[in-house]
Structure 1
Amino acid sequence: MRKWIEVAAGVMLACGSMGSAMAAPPSEQQVRQLFDAMHLSQMFGQMNAQMAGAMGRVVPCVPASYWQNFIDAGGAQQLLSRMVPIYQSHFSAEDVVGLLKFYQSPLGQKMVIQMPLVVAEGMRVNQQWGRERGLAMVQRLQQQGTLDANGRCPATPAATSPAPVAKPAH
């Protein structure tokens, strides 16, 4: 019994010290300051313009102007409000202070300006690489006979012949 009490006391002590060692989450105000420093509202505007153009191509019967207000000022605030708890769960108040210092610095502002361009270029490279890689893998499967010339599984006798119909027993 004494051993169990010692173990329980040790666990309680460890849990108590872990709680004090865990950093405090940032306040909503801190997170919103970070969002401002990161220019997230403006990024939503850029995303909206790109999305409106894409939707205009996908649904040509609807004018692209219809989609222009998908992320309006109210929508941006709704998105930011939903993002606050995410940042609060992944970053401590101390982390946000450090991130604020970075994003308020000249290098941080350069990051904010350049990152959308870097991501867009990266996506183009990724898509091109994916097409090339996929084509090479399909060609290898065609050479091995796993796929036919159209990139489909070749017909097998079992797949082309109808299964025999069982006759009902009398």
Structure 2
Amino acid sequence: MHRWIAAGALLLTLGVGTGTATAADAPQGGASAASVRELLAATHVTAMMQPIMQQMGKQLDVMVRQRLPCLPPSAVSSALITPQATQQLIDLVVPIYQHNFTERDVRGLLAFYRTPLGQKLLQVQPVIMHESMMAGEQWGRQRVERRIGQLKSEGKLTAQGSCPVAPAGNPSAGH
């Protein structure tokens, strides 16, 4: 579930939303809420958030079914997949953008995302993220396998990859 929350947060960093805030809503030197919401809309964050929130809901349903079988499916996850929930999440993110970007920064980002290159980035970024995650998983798997091999050759693990039986009188051996 943490992976989906992280993915949702990552998508929020790309940008969507609506609003009518003014420059007076901006923190000292920060971007206005209206310009941040414009950036979020230009980068299609809401549309990208919906499938992630639905997937998070499915995973939450499995957890709830296992731990709270007395509840019907989607009793808890339904709180994640409403338009109001999405808007609340965006409302939480707007001040983060305001704190980290000036109005000029947001205007520059908007200008970029409206260019053909910015549009291409929006189009290919999900593919890049997916391929990067797959590459990272493969890399991690290879590193772990290599380390397990080292631990086997050092005698810290058996050939089958389990802990050796602790010799009598030495309960810490094999840990």
Answering whether residue 85 of structure 2 is matched by residue 75 of structure 1, we say: yes
Count of aligned positions: 139
Q: Point out where structure 1 has 5 or more consecutive residues left out of the alignment.
A: 1-22, 162-170
The whole-number CA distance in structure 2 between the counterparts of 1:56 and 1:149 is: 39
Answering whether residue 53 of structure 2 is matched by residue 43 of structure 1, we say: no
Tell me the residue number matched to 2:120: 110
Tell me the residue number matched to 1:90: 100
Of the structure 1 ranges 66-75 and 43-52, higher mean CA displacement relative to structure 2 is found in 66-75
Structure with more relative contact order (C-alpha pairs < 8 Å, separation 6 or more) = 1
**Which of 153, 156, 164 is the matching residue for 2:163?**
153
- Identity of paired residues, percent? 35
Q: What is the TM-score when the length of structure 2 is the normalising length? A: 0.66
The answer (yes or no) to whether the contact 1:48–1:70 under 8 Å persists in 2 is yes
Q: Which protein shows a greater Rg? A: 1
The answer (yes or no) to whether the contact 2:152–2:161 under 8 Å persists in 1 is yes
Q: Point out where structure 2 has 5 or more consecutive residues left out of the alignment.
A: 1-27
Residue-by-residue CA offset, 1:42-95 (whole Å, 9 max, x unaligned): 11113134435555777698768x857733211111011000111112112111
Letter of the 1:107 counterpart: L
Answering whether residue 137 of structure 2 is matched by residue 127 of structure 1, we say: yes
The answer (yes or no) to whether the contact 1:37–1:103 under 8 Å persists in 2 is yes
Q: What is the TM-score when the length of structure 1 is the normalising length? A: 0.68
**Which of 25, 30, 37 is the matching residue for 2:35?**
30
The whole-number CA distance in structure 2 between the counterparts of 1:160 and 1:129 is: 32
Higher helix share: 1
Tell me the residue number matched to 1:10: none
